Chains A and B, each alone.
Chain A
Amino acid sequence: MSIRDRMSGNEAIATAMRQINPDVFAMFPITPSTEIPQYFAQYVADGKVDTEFICVESEHSSMSACIGAEAAGARAVTATSSAGLSFMNEMLFVAASARLPIVLAVANRALTGPININHDYSDSMAERDSGFIQIYSENNQEAYDNYLQAHRIGETADVRLPVMICEDGFITSHALENIELESDEDVKAFVGEYHPEEYLLKAENPLAVGPYGVSNYYMEARVAQAEAMKNAKRAILDVAADFEKTFGRKYGFFEEYRMDDAKMAIVIMGSSAGTAKAAVDELREAGKKVGLIKVRVFRPFPGEELAEALKNVKAVAVMDKSEGFSANGGPLFAETASACINMEQRPKMINIVYGLGGRDFTVDHTRRVFAHLEKIIETGEIGPTYIHLGQRDDRKEVL
């Protein structure tokens, strides 16, 4: 039986951590994720968890401490944002290649510069090739639910990869909203205990972690890691199916919102998807065949499934809340476009970069995007494919 409550995304994630009671939390604070270790420190002080709570001197060290703990056979977690995630960069690759299923909560925040504390995905998108599984959340409920699923996904025997659970900085992390929590007992039963088959401190079969890989072997390790990421797709769906059976809330690689018979669609992530849904509802009422796909899992990228979901659509706008500086569109666009490349009939596809550094994204922005897609279908002319939406100067706006 769910418990009706209200809290911010940060408190929701900290609550999930408390219920899971991990062995180690290595913490270093950074806005807007700071509240997560702050809440957790209170749980430690109140004796609600028996986690080893380590205050380290940097994010490079917090991830390093997690790596050490997880390699020793413990369940280790941490949280960060923005520059903190960048500072972990080296160790993220170590964690993933050593196949250590650490769970890292990220309250997404723009990277410098100019220096900014507000939301976009430039921090986690910069780590998309680190080997972490990446799961994104629309609101506090999804941040909580995704976190409850994270350990089981990462710890799956043929996966063994670290997991990033992302929530939108401030928009989700600091907004108080209603939430359905699950009881401590039900969460513990769902997540289970962590008993890795091999680990550093296993006396009867001690293991080396992170050795040098000469050219004769390095590639095999990387291929095995790539296979693990492919296996993660099945693990994500399996855990989601059990989550739905246990708690009643349904998750997949992405959410298809009013996509039946849709001729125009936007592909989008996070809290913006919620805002855009309001525009989809409004346009559907006006008889427009519009839909939305909210990408929840970015790594592994569900390319085949996404292409299938878009096959009957005539025009698609892929919405990137980070600027990749590729001069060819943002990261979600690159992935979505490449996923569709071998389709018999492809939708026309444009990229819209929006909401950088917390620039507000509104229902009206979504209306403008769909109006533009409608024009593309009517005229058959795709026009510019790499567009920035929501700039201060209206004269610079394409839509």
Chain B
Amino acid sequence: MNIMEIRWHGRGGQGAKTASLLLADAAFMAGKFVQSFPEYGPERSGAPITAYNRISDERCTIHSNIYEPDYVVVVDETLLESVDVTAGLKEEGGIVINSAKSAAELRPLLHGYQGKVYTVDAGTISRKHLGDYFPNTPMLAAIVAISGCVEQEAFMKDMEEAYTHKFANKPQVVKGNLDCLVEAMQAVRE
């Protein structure tokens, strides 16, 4: 069975878990079997957290954490100093990091990882469209763009529905979130 496995690294409060849920939702809408689960511990704002996705054509019965992911998403660049984010990451896969720096500048921090390294400046994109720091939305778009786990047009359609539903009480933020996604998909670079 072909399973795409994705690991998210973020800090409590940055929405890595929510982004992982939204990614699962989009893949579900595209007809896939999905898993989205965070690694729980004492929850506190700012502490490193991990969340996971499995996406497959048949139901995956494995319920362990993910140790050899196809892709890694780093929602907070400062984690590169304290967490071995590329541990077990497949060389044919890739890692996408929220950073204003280039991939070449960050590669030395990745313990010799040889696969593809992508960056996207999620902070700037988020501030531009949402007026505040919500890095998870651009990072969600970035992982969709680099992994191809969901077809981009279908993804945008599903996200529009999801945001319209989620922000039923503040519809003014729907467009900002969608603009975030579009810009992040274009801005992510190797």
Contacts and interface: CB of A to CB of B under 8 A. Distances in A.
Contact of B34 (A139, A177, A363): A177
A115 B76 CA distance: 29
Contacts of B64: 275, 360-363
Given A6-B34, A174-B40, A176-B37, A274 B63 contact: yes
Given A6-B24, A170-B40, A174-B40, A277 B34 contact: no
B62 A6 contact: no
Nearest to B53: A176
Contacts of B24: 6, 176
Nearest to A168: B63
Contact of B62 (A168, A176, A278, A358): A278
A338 to B, nearest CB: 29
Contacts of A363: 62, 64
B20 to A, nearest CB: 9
A138 B59 CA distance: 13
A178 B33 contact: yes
Interface residues of A, number: 26
Nearest to A138: B61
Contacts of A138: 61
A81 interface: no
Interface in A82-141: 117-118, 138-139
B48 to A, nearest CB: 17
Given A6-B24, A171-B63, A275-B62, A178 B37 contact: no
23 contacts: A6-B25, A6-B28, A6-B34, A32-B40, A118-B41, A168-B63, A170-B37, A170-B40, A171-B37, A174-B37, A174-B38, A175-B35, A176-B24, A176-B36, A176-B37, A177-B59, A178-B34, A274-B63, A275-B64, A278-B62, A361-B64, A362-B64, A362-B65
Given A117-B40, A358-B40, 15 more contacts: A6-B25, A32-B40, A118-B40, A172-B63, A174-B37, A174-B40, A175-B37, A176-B37, A178-B28, A178-B33, A274-B62, A277-B61, A278-B61, A362-B65, A362-B67
